[in-house]
Structure 1
Amino acid sequence: MKRSLKKQQGTAALFTVLMLPGFLAMMYMTIEATRYMQDEAKIGDAMEAAALAVSGNVDKNIDTNKALVKRYADLYLPDANVQLENINVEVQSCEDVYGARCGEPGVYDRHGFYFSEFRISATVSQQSWFPITEKLPGFDETINFDGKAVARKYIFDPLDLILVLDMSGSMGNAWSASGSDQDKYQGVLDIVERLATDIHTLNQEIADVNKRHRIGVSVFSDRVVHKEDTAYGTRYFRSSYLYQAHEDNWRYKYAAQSTLMNNLFNDRYFGIYTSQSSDSTTFYNIDLTKDLPALINQVKYFTPSGYTASFEGIVAGARMLYGSLEPDVKRKKVLIILSDGEDYGRDYYGYYNHKWDGINLYNAGMCNAMRDAFIAQDAQLTLAVIGFDYDLERNQGLKTCVGEKNVHTARDYDDIYNTIVPIIAEAVGHLFYRDYQAN
């Protein structure tokens, strides 16, 4: 009996020795498989968090947002290898996704809200803890995981949008780097028409007329022009907020910066009345309106002329937004400047320099004073600039005005449109089905 027991013990020990590698392999595989299952879930969570972060980031530079995605991947998977070249960030408009069916109720939501879509994807790699060997089974030495997510920013809140359009003489040239041979002002006016058409379509689905979106334009070169329809016909007022004209000619009399700063929203014009000069009727400001087909019909006849003084358009646009404040309706107030260059040129007699006058105004806090005035009325003013066909980094004045994170550079006309939509939409997007198929 004792011999039999010893014999059995020896046999068990032999089986244990023979089976131990298998048990260890199963344990290793279980541990590693559990780890990889967790990593698979983590990369999905990281991409969802990153998609929301990118949708809420005011900086739309693709490289900047790739770096943002990488930070989220590193946070969720600290021991993974995450490379920027394995991260993809794609921004699409509603029209890019659904074409002519964009805005159609029932296609992707019951209202057909316009949106910007942010597609995020990344491939990360992990080093195996227990790689396969000649003696033991295991995993490949490096395992890759793919994650993706989709977020959409919708235009929900009633919107008041002022587009501050540069109509200086340089806008009459082509933007060759964009791949288009049309003059820049024509490309920008096409964007105004496209945006106004989309918003008009959206407005038709909003039953409450008071909550429909409005758009206006503030057009500048070295001045702005106000149009008034009177019983005596249409009159045009050339206006300058920093330079005040004499009644008999265009010789400017300097209005001190402090005077302008103290009267930013004082409803009065600087300038003189003119109805004869054809130059004064090449463009003019259009106040906020829900009649967007009428706005489209007016802007298509605008043509550029003159030097560049962006502060003239910004003051005029901010005044339109401030004058439209309503106590009963909370509207999102947005002013976006579209310009192809720095402030440039002098007044008629060469006394004043638009570039340095603009920089001095911005450095004196003109734009901050505008924001503060809106805050005092329980409202918020959003300022942004989209530059094209020049190095926007040189324009320190506008960067000071809107804030560095609200400065955007466009590659082509579609890029301008795709930059505008996220600015006017909600602050942060909503996650959408990552594997959806657009029909």
Structure 2
Amino acid sequence: MINRNRRVQSGHAALLFALMIPLLFGVFILGTDGARALQSKARIEEASEAAALAIAGQSESSQESRDALASRYIRYYFPHSDIIRMETQNIPCSQNQDCEKITSATEQYFEYTVSTNIEQKNWFSKDTISTSMGNGLNVGGSAKARKYQSQAVDVILVADFSGSMQDRLPGENKNKEQQLIEVMKEVADTLNDYNQHSNLKSELAFTGFNFFTKKYTFDSNDLKYYNYLICKKAHQNQVRQQGWCFDSYENGRNIDVNATVSQIFDYGAYDYWTEKQIIENNSWGQDIVSARFREIPLTDDFSKFKSEISHFYAKGGTASYTGLISGARLAYDGDNQRKLIILLSDGQDSNYSKADDNISSSLIYKGKLCSVIISKLNEKLVYNDSTQSNEHVVSKMFAIGFGYAASDYPVMQQCVGQGNVYDAKNSEAIKDKILELIAEEMGRLSPSD
């Protein structure tokens, strides 16, 4: 009787075990794929944080470039998964409700967000095992990074003051010149706030350009006009003195490109022109001298800076290379380790359609103008108070198009780099971009809500 009961119980146990196999296997599947899902969730949050910090560090301008950069980070973490959603944002302080509540510039920040979803294949698919969690797993993650201003910086604004800056953008009641002056004043106010509420001593400089830049000489109470060009020897004569080596502004064949670029920081290399010489030797002469602007060297007297630019007036053609060379020289004179040269223009250089002879093209493509400027600046040593040692300058160059697609201008992309060209549709966008560039190079993760 006892043996018979044992045989019956043994049969029950076998039957019970057989019935529990699917349940046990389901628990196994849930444990393995579930654990993988939790691990993937943690990793995608980590990947999103890395992507947000990368975007903050590189100040990617367009939605496409930010999404592409974030996607590269997500794919690095999940090489065998599909990205089914990618959203990134660049939120200036003026559009961030949390940031707007903060009054001090030192506490203001730019915020960069990344939000993404991936689809990951499960180890046990629905097609093969009915008790699986499905064929794929949708995992999402998000992160935010902020960028503050924490280092002193020399900011050099290289501004287009050609006649087209007198035009208005659609729907605006002020012309581009007036809007740009207001933007520069707001930048000066922000730098002033940085300096007053920290131990920073950031400085601001300005140089305008049409076909020339202008430098005021206080000892002689006179303006000197520079186009920063050096002619080939055959064209250095009494009529076309140094720097006046072309018959028209689209003709750059008579310019000694290598000499012009190699002597940027040689302060005696370039001849200047007087107002009388400009008028007598150039069909644009009257417009060139009618424009009212001049170089303002690096300064932290922001009240005086704002007062001086208030009276500036745009007129004449466009030659951005004059502004770039002038800006580089202003940057070299600064004592801060970080230097930003920001070119602001509302259009391509005059006569750009003459691409073969265009002066800007020759200087940038053949002479490597912008690369030379950056490399020469970065060779300079300045004293770093934090490390109490001399360190190399870290300089960057950017271009912002005011009401036109500067990113479609190949010469400018070649100059400052494709990732450093921005298109701004209005003055608010210009201001936000300049302040973003001024903020520190690397971001920090935003606090959790």
**Does 1:376 find its partner at 2:394?**
no
Amino acid at match of 1:361: L
1:423 to 429, 437, 445: 437
Residue 249 and residue 282 in structure 1: after superposition, are their counterparts in 2 closer, same or farther (change >3 A)? Answer: farther
1:87 is aligned to 86
Query: 1:342, 1:355 within 8 Å by CA — same for their partners in 2?
Result: no
Tell me what 2:260 maps to.
260
SS in 2 for 1:418: helix
| Counterpart Cα distance in 2 of 1:274 and 1:15 | 104
Bigger mean CA offset, 149-158 vs 253-262: 253-262
Partner AA of 1:387 in structure 2: G
Q: How far off is 1:246 after superposition?
A: 10
Separation in 1, partners of 2:333, 2:120: 58
Q: Does the CA contact (< 8 Å) of 1:309 and 1:355 recur in 2?
A: no
Identical aligned pairs, as a percentage?
25
1:360 aligns with 2:362: yes
> CA contact under 8 A between 2:342 and 2:397: conserved in structure 1?
yes
Structure 2, gaps ≥5 residues long: 246-254, 280-285, 382-392
2:147 to 153, 168, 183: 153
RMSD over equivalenced CA pairs, Å: 3.3
- Cα offset for 1:182? 3.0
The residue correspondences of 1:190-339 to structure 2 (distance < 5 A) are: 190-207=182-199, 211-230=200-219, 234-242=221-229, 253-254=244-245, 256-268=256-268, 270-274=271-275, 279-280=289-290, 282-324=292-334, 326=335, 330-339=336-345
Compared CA separation, residues 132 and 402, structure 1 to 2 (3 A): closer
Q: 1:414 aligns with which of 420, 428, 444?
A: 428
The question of whether the paired residues in 2 share the 8 Å contact of 1:336 and 1:384 is answered with yes
Contact 2:56 2:112 in 1 (8 A): yes
Q: TM-score, normalised by structure 2?
A: 0.81
2:380 maps to amino acid: Q
Show CA shifts across 1:93-150 (max 9, x none).
2333245544528xxxxxx3443221111123345555779x9655466543331111
Pairing 1:88-103 to 2, within 5 Å after superposition: 88-97=87-96, 98=98, 100-103=100-103
- Counterpart of 2:58, as a letter, is N
**One-letter amino acid of the structure 1 residue matched with residue 293 of structure 2:** F
Q: Which runs of 4+ in 1 moved over 6 A?
A: 243-252, 275-278, 352-355
Q: Structure 1 373/131 Cα, relative in aligned 2: closer, same or farther at 3 Å?
A: closer
Aligned equivalent of 1:75? 76
Q: 1:393 offset after TM fit, Å?
A: 4.9
CA pair 241-32 structure 1, distance change in 2 beyond 3 A: same
Counterpart check, 1:186 vs 2:188: no
In structure 1, runs of 5+ residues without a counterpart are 106-111, 347-351
Amino acid aligned to 2:358: W
- Displacement of 1:248 in angstroms is 10
CA contact (8 A) 1:307 1:345 kept: no
* Distance across 2 between alignment mates of 1:240 and 1:356: 14
2:384 match:
none
The alpha-carbon deviation at position 156 of structure 1 amounts to 1.8
SS of 1:121 mapped into structure 2? strand
Structure-2 separation of matches of 1:164 and 1:125: 47
Which residue of the partner structure matches residue 387 of structure 1?
401
Distance in 2 separating the partners of 1:320 and 1:28: 67
Structure 2 CA distance for partners of 1:398 and 1:161, relative to 1, 3 Å: same
Summarize deviations over 1:292-321 as a string: whole Å, max 9, x none.
Answer: 122122222222100000011111111111
Distance 1:193 1:247 in 2: 42
Match of 1:349 in 2: none
CA shift in 2, pair 1:184/1:396, >3 Å: same
Asked if 1 retains the 8 angstrom alpha-carbon contact of 2:150 and 2:440, the reply is yes
Aligned counterparts of 1:263 and 1:333: Cα–Cα separation in 2: 20
Contact 2:86-2:115 within 8 A present in 1 as well: yes
Which whole-Å CA distance do the structure 2 matches of 1:394 and 1:148 have between them? 32
Structure 2: distance between partners of 1:7 and 1:127: 45
TM-score by length of structure 1 reads: 0.83
Residue type of the alignment partner of 2:142? K
My pick for the range that moved more, 251-260 or 405-414, is 251-260
Q: Identify if the C-alpha distance between structure 1 residues 428 and 310 changes in structure 2 by more than 3 Å, giving closer, same or farther.
A: same
Distance 2:258 2:30 in 1: 74
Q: Matched residue pairs, number?
A: 410
Task: Say whether the 8 Å CA contact 1:238–1:280 is kept in structure 2.
Answer: no
